[in-house]
Chain A
Amino acid sequence: MDLDALAGCLSSSACLVTQTTSGLIIGMLLFLVAVGLTLIFGVLKVVNFSHGAFYMFGAYFAMTAYQFTGSFALAMLAGAAGTAVLGLIFERVFMSRVYGADVLMQLLVCYAFVLIFDDVVRLIWGPEFKSMGMPSAFQVMPLFIAGGVVPPYYLLLIGVALSAAIVLGIGLSRSRIGKVIRAAAQNPGMVSALGINTGLIYGGVFALGGMLAGLAGALAAPVRSLTPGMGFSVLIESFIVTVIGGMGSILGALIGALLLGLIRSYGSLGFPLFTEGLMYLFMVIVLVSKPTGLFGKEAA
């Protein structure tokens, strides 16, 4: 415990800015992963335990594309589009076989793919740490806000994630396809009886979820190191986010992710060794006081 460091930071505006920004980027990346998870759970009623793998693939795809083309935009595109295709294939070929089966069976299929995907990455890219490196466009002077240092890339990252959140939120509530998706979440039988291909919707939602996780991985690639097991910790954290926010709630995922990001960034000052513990403690407190999460609907 190092409460002095925490108190010292809270009284310095420079430190506040730095810690809050780093909390925000952790939170935004987590949100992108968690929102896919919560969307898949909301519509398909499947807890996608292999979701972290899409984050991992997004990062590796982006790194590879960047090495070949040198274009940051293409790298992001490769991360997002590649994982979308992967998600679609994965859902249609494997997950669609265990809908309605025991939850444990679904979990087992996902767990199998966590193992397989990690080894596939190890086979293709090797077991060692990789790094994509910061694109030259962002290798410029950092911004100074109230004495705090903020790299421009952080602003881009927050901006992209925030836009994704807004597009997703509006798309789901206003657009026709958003309404169909929400209807399919409520009553798939009825939607299918109206002549809408629910299999396509399920595949699409899974691909969208995979794409968001892949985008998060691609955005994280310049600032984090890449390893075959990198999806795992992200998976656990995004699970905490969805559970805190309420399974199936997009607003909940956003709030949960931001809270968790801030807990991580300030917790690492005050409780360097117990930062992870703080997140779990927070989750326990939320679940005990509100079992369905902050924005979750009452469980059926």
Chain B
Amino acid sequence: MTELEAGRAGTLAPVRGGAALGRYRDVLIALIAFAVLASLPLFTGSKALLDFVIRCSAYGLFATSLNLLVGYTGLTSFGHGMFFGLGAYSFGLIMQKLGVPIPVAFVATLAITALIAAVIGAICVRLKEIYFAFVTLAFQMLIHSTILSWASFTGGDQGLRGGIPRPAFLGINLANHVHLYIASCALLILGLLAMRQIAQSPFGYTLRMIRDNAARASFLGIDVWRAKLTVFVLAALFAAMGGMVMALFVSGAYPEFAYWTISGEAIFINMLGGVSTFLGPMVGTVLLLLLNDTVTRFTEYHGIVLGIVILFFALGLRKGLLDFVAEWFSQRRDAGERR
């Protein structure tokens, strides 16, 4: 290790004072981001743009939560979409059948998701790598099959139709498009901030250690199984939040929300944006949704176009966009320092 690199590594180590400073900075960035997003309806009346941001919120929460597993812990889940679907369905069913206020349904959905994620996670996180990936996929498809076959409760392949009631609470009326938009943005920013706090906490660094060397983490007295299970449940909660935003947006829930392709898309989003930067999945979300929207407008063969773009990322950049940019900047800075 050269002197320079040693110096850089030193500044990277989490220092108590530095961490607190970083935390204030994150909160500040979140506040600014929320202010910018929330003021958007003042400048534009474009419903399509607001819809786009709402969809970005739903998918962004979902994709970023997956990155807690993939990027930070090294757990490649192929079945993370089950929690997106579970969130959408639980929320929709609670609202339709029980008619409780929205915040109550929100909390109840998180509780249900946590419970199910704890059970599924307890089974899954014992397994490694490809086996973990497949057992999560199997659980996802099990939930998907259950949704399809339990038609009397879930509506089967028709999905939860008839709209989700959205009674006003605390002066917020989610049936109003602008209110729904601002609520989605708020959930997105709050969710991202919470995930950022988790990633930067000592627990977050424990996860990175497990990813890099689980045996060493175990020797250092860390209960690897429990740490993995905890992050599995946490990630599920944020994915369910994304699912709830989606259910509110489309006023329903459909079996596709729990189908495995939605997990595939989330993985794709992560790879597109980058997994070693916190905001990578968010960048990937915006990229994919933009790409999907524009490509479908021009050609019915959007699979070919999308495929070629993916190939460009996988074979050309060999990493996600934000990772690529971050690396490029750090290389430039290094070159500058050497000069």
A interface residues, Cβ below 8 angstroms from B: 47, 94, 97-98, 101, 103-105, 107-109, 111-116, 118-120, 122-123, 236, 239-240, 243, 247, 271, 273-274, 276-277, 280-281, 283-284, 287-288, 291-292, 299
Chain A residues whose CB sits within 8 angstroms of the CB of B267 once the complex forms? 104, 107-108
A287 touches B145 (CB 8 A): no
Interchain CB contact (< 8 A) of B142 among A47, A123, A280, A292: A280
CA of A283 to CA of B137 in the docked complex: distance in angstroms?
10
The answer to whether A115 touches B264 (Cβ under 8 A) is no
| A119-B308 Cα distance, complex, nearest whole Å | 12
> Which single residue of chain B is at the shortest CB-CB distance from A106?
B314
Q: Which of A105, A109, A120, A284 contacts B138 (CB 8 A)?
A: A284
A119 and B301 contact, Cβ closer than 8 Å, known pairs A236-B260, A280-B138: yes
21 contacts between A and B (CB under 8 A): A103-B130, A104-B70, A104-B270, A104-B271, A105-B271, A107-B267, A108-B310, A108-B314, A109-B311, A109-B314, A119-B304, A120-B304, A122-B303, A239-B134, A239-B137, A274-B145, A277-B142, A277-B145, A280-B142, A281-B142, A283-B138
State the CA gap A22–B127 with chains docked (Å).
34
A246 to chain B, nearest CB (A): 10
Given A94-B315, A277-B146, also A115-B138 (CB < 8 A): no
> Complex Cα distance A112/B138, Å?
22
Residues of the A chain whose Cβ atoms lie less than 8 Å from the Cβ of B271: 104-105, 108
Which residues of chain A are near B138, meaning CB under 8 Å?
240, 280, 283-284, 287
A115 pairs with B306, CB closer than 8 A? yes
Q: In terms of DSSP, what is the predominant structure of the interface of chain B?
A: helix
Chain A residue nearest to B71 (CB atoms) is A104
Chain B interface residue count, CB cutoff 8 Å, equals 41
Q: How close is A142's CB to chain B, nearest CB, in angstroms?
A: 32
Chain B residues whose CB sits within 8 angstroms of the CB of A115 once the complex forms: 303-304, 306-307, 310
Instruction: Give 13 new A-B contacts, CB below 8 A, not counting A113-B307, A299-B129.
Output: A47-B130, A108-B268, A108-B310, A122-B303, A240-B134, A273-B148, A277-B141, A280-B141, A283-B135, A284-B135, A287-B131, A288-B123, A288-B135
A271 to B151, alpha carbons, bound, how many Å? 14
Q: Which of A104, A274, A288 has the most CB of B within 10 A?
A: A104
B158 within 8 A of A: no
Q: Is B76 an interface residue (CB 8 A)?
A: yes
Whether B314 pairs with A112 at a CB distance below 8 angstroms is yes
Bound form: Cα–Cα A120–B301 in Å: 9
Segment 280-339 of B: residues with Cβ below 8 Å from A: 301-304, 306-308, 310-311, 313-315, 318
Q: Please name all residues of chain A whose beta carbon is closer than 8 Å to the beta carbon of B302 when the two chains form the complex.
A: 119
| Residues on the B chain within 8 Å of A98, using CB | 314-315
Across-interface contacts of A243 in B (CB, < 8 A):
131, 134
Interface string of B246-282 (1 = CB under 8 A from A): 0000000000000010001001101100010000000
B148 cross-chain contacts in A, Cβ below 8 A: 273, 276
Q: Considering the chains assembled together, what is the distance between the CA atoms of A243 and B138 in angstroms?
A: 11
User: What distance in Å separates the Cβ of A33 from its nearest Cβ neighbour in chain B?
Assistant: 16
8 A-B pairs with least C-beta separation: A277-B145, A273-B149, A116-B307, A115-B303, A112-B310, A119-B303, A115-B307, A112-B307
- Let me know if A247 and B127 touch, CB within 8 A: no
**Residues on A with beta carbons closer than 8 Å to the beta carbon of B126:** 291
B137: A residues at CB distance < 8 A: 239
Measured CA separation A115–B148 after assembly (Å): 25
From A103, A114, A118, A299, B128 is in contact (CB under 8 Å) with A299
A98→B314 CA distance, assembly (Å)? 8
Task: Let me know if A109 and B315 touch, CB within 8 A.
Answer: yes
Are A97 and B70 closer than 8 Å at their CB atoms? no
Instruction: Tell me if B34 counts as interface (CB < 8 A to partner A).
Output: no
- Do residues A291 and B131 form an inter-chain contact, with CB atoms below 8 A? yes
Chain A contacts for B70, CB-based, 8 A = 104
Q: Which residues of A contact B142 (CB under 8 A)?
A: 277, 280-281, 284
Chain A, Cβ-Cβ closest to B270: A104
Q: Which residue of A lies closest to B275 (CB)?
A: A104
Q: Which of B129, B135, B149, B301 contacts A123 (CB 8 A)?
A: B301
Q: Decide: A105 near B149, CB < 8 A? Known: A284-B138, A299-B129.
A: no
Q: Does B205 contact A (CB under 8 A)?
A: no
CA distance A4 to B288 in the complex (A): 48
Q: Kindly list chain A residues whose C-beta atoms are within 8 Å of the C-beta of B149.
A: 271, 273-274, 277
Is B134 a contact of A287 with CB atoms below 8 Å?
yes
Residues in A neighbouring B131, C-beta threshold 8 A:
243, 287, 291-292, 299
CA distance A160 to B163 in the complex (A): 52
A107 vs B301: C-alpha distance when bound (angstroms): 21
CA distance A229 to B300 in the complex (A): 15
B159 to chain A, nearest CB (A): 15
CA distance A291 to B132 in the complex (A): 9
The smallest C-beta distance from A115 to any residue of chain B, in angstroms, reads 4
Residues of chain B with a CB closer than 8 A to A120's CB: 304
Q: Cα distance A299–B128 when bound, in Å? A: 8
Mask for B210-245, Cβ within 8 A of A = 1, else 0?
Answer: 000000000000000000000000000000000000
